[in-house]
Amino acid sequence: MYYFTGVMSFIAQSLRTPVIFLAFLVLIEVVSFASADKSFEDVRCKCICPPYRNITGHIYKKNVTQKDCNCLHVVEPMPVPGHDVEAYCLLCECKYEERSSNTIKVTIIIYLSVVGALLLYMLFLLLIDPLIRKHDPYTMPLQNEEDSEDVRPRVDGARGNTVLERVEGAQQRWKKQVQEQRKTVFDRHKLLS
């Protein structure tokens, strides 16, 4: 067990991105599930028996093989006396059910990996947001809603080369569009009033 933990920590250190590490874990789970035999809980026989004379209907479930999926092997204890067993079993409907718990587990692991990656991305954005919103001494405060044409005047034309500045510029354009939409909606509201 210690060896496996050491290997996993080495892999986690060598794979710097969490997404690749999560994908690697999913791959390990898929391989381990593919090599395992079917679990005993993955198969069952389900018999639905309707009411019979003074006996209420009942559903019976049992883990048996497909060839033993019938009323005689699944319905225990038999609710009718010996001479009525055949008539009672003819009324029962037995179905062999099979599921793949491996597929269910892999699907859940993939789902949790995607949710984890999105949470890490959200955390990254929350950490980088203060850097995007850094105070710029060259920013003019807004005097009026109508004067929202140039929120952040550029000091020199060479700015905007870094990714952070491009994201900040896109964010400012988006804020400007929202402000214009808000102004338009309130102007229309005043006209209708």
pLDDT tens figures, 61-82: 999 999 999 999 999 988 988 8
Distance, in Å, from the CA atom of 97 to the CA atom of 46, rounded to the nearest integer, reads: 7
Q: Which tokens go with 14?
A: 């060598």
Largest CA distance in the chain: 99
Sign of the four-CA dihedral 35, 38, 41, 43: positive
Distance, in Å, from the CA atom of 135 to the CA atom of 41, rounded to the nearest integer, reads: 61
Q: Are 94 and 70 in contact (CB under 8 A)?
A: yes
Average pLDDT score over residue span 148-159: 49
Per-residue model confidence (pLDDT) at position 34: 52
Q: Are 167 and 180 in contact (CB under 8 A)?
A: no
Per-residue model confidence (pLDDT) at position 115: 96
